[in-house]
Chain A
Amino acid sequence: DTGVSQDPRHKITKRGQNVTFRCDPISEHNRLYWYRQTLGQGPEFLTYFQNEAQLEKSRLLSDRFSAERPKGSFSTLEIQRTEQGDSAMYLCASSLEGLGEKLFFGSGTQLSVL
């Protein structure tokens, strides 16, 4: 069990650029979640997948955000035309269906938009 891994750990970009983050869940976990966390706040739900199907998207997820999990394994989160307000820690978590509340979190990708 290597845990949930996220790449990169840190990303600095200029406003208007596109960025993509990757998450590799625990191998046998069929659920994968994306959360966003800003300083002094708790994680905010963005979206989640069961296998390759995206089952729910938060209203926080604007049209500039897209997430995929094409083969039901790793997932990518892309932000197009980044804005300064997108600066945050992006967290990925995975779980087994039926034990969904026990999420295993990665260490996150810290995004800074200049």
Chain B
Amino acid sequence: GNSVTQMEGPVTLSEEAFLTINCTYTATGYPSLFWYVQYPGEGLQLLLKATKADDKGSNKGFEATYRKETTSFHLEKGSVQVSDSAVYFCALSVNTDKLIFGTGTRLQVFP
């Protein structure tokens, strides 16, 4: 079946540190891949997406590259801020618009 596996959190970083949150997937067919973010007290919102192999999604300084050979879509940011503290969800969609989410990774950034 289709599934997403994320690294467990929390991930705790100091401001300006480099961030990587790992995400791997299993899918039948050719999925589109997404990162959603949930800030404290808010609903989930789309952060970035990639729809085919080798595509790079980017937004707000975050990037993720669709790697078909390693079935991965790792989220990276070169310099995190306290305001990036949130829960990050990797997700996929195959042929339909139904999203399948990972378990989420909590990021805590301290000044």
Contact = CB atoms under 8 A, between A and B. Distances in A.
Interface of A: 3-4, 31, 33, 40-45, 48, 56, 91, 93, 95, 97, 100-108
11 contacts: A40-B104, A42-B101, A44-B101, A45-B99, A48-B97, A91-B44, A101-B32, A101-B46, A101-B93, A105-B44, A106-B43
Contacts of A3: 43
Contacts of B34: 101
Contact of B104 (A42, A97, A100, A107): A42
Contacts, number: 57
A107 B42 contact: yes
Main secondary structure of the interface of A (DSSP, over half): loop
Given A41-B103, A101-B49, A31 B97 contact: yes
Interface of B: 4, 32, 34, 41-46, 49, 89, 91, 93, 96-104
B97 A43 contact: no
Given A40-B103, A42-B103, A101-B34, A48 B98 contact: yes
B52 to A, nearest CB: 13
A42 B49 contact: no
A43 B44 contact: yes
A101 B97 contact: yes
A103 B91 CA distance: 12
Most A C-beta atoms less than 10 A away, residue of B32, B34, B43, B46: B43
Contacts of A101: 32, 34, 46, 49, 93, 97, 99
Which are the 6 A-B pairs with shortest beta-carbon distances?
A100-B97, A42-B101, A105-B43, A105-B44, A42-B103, A107-B43
A76 to B, nearest CB: 19
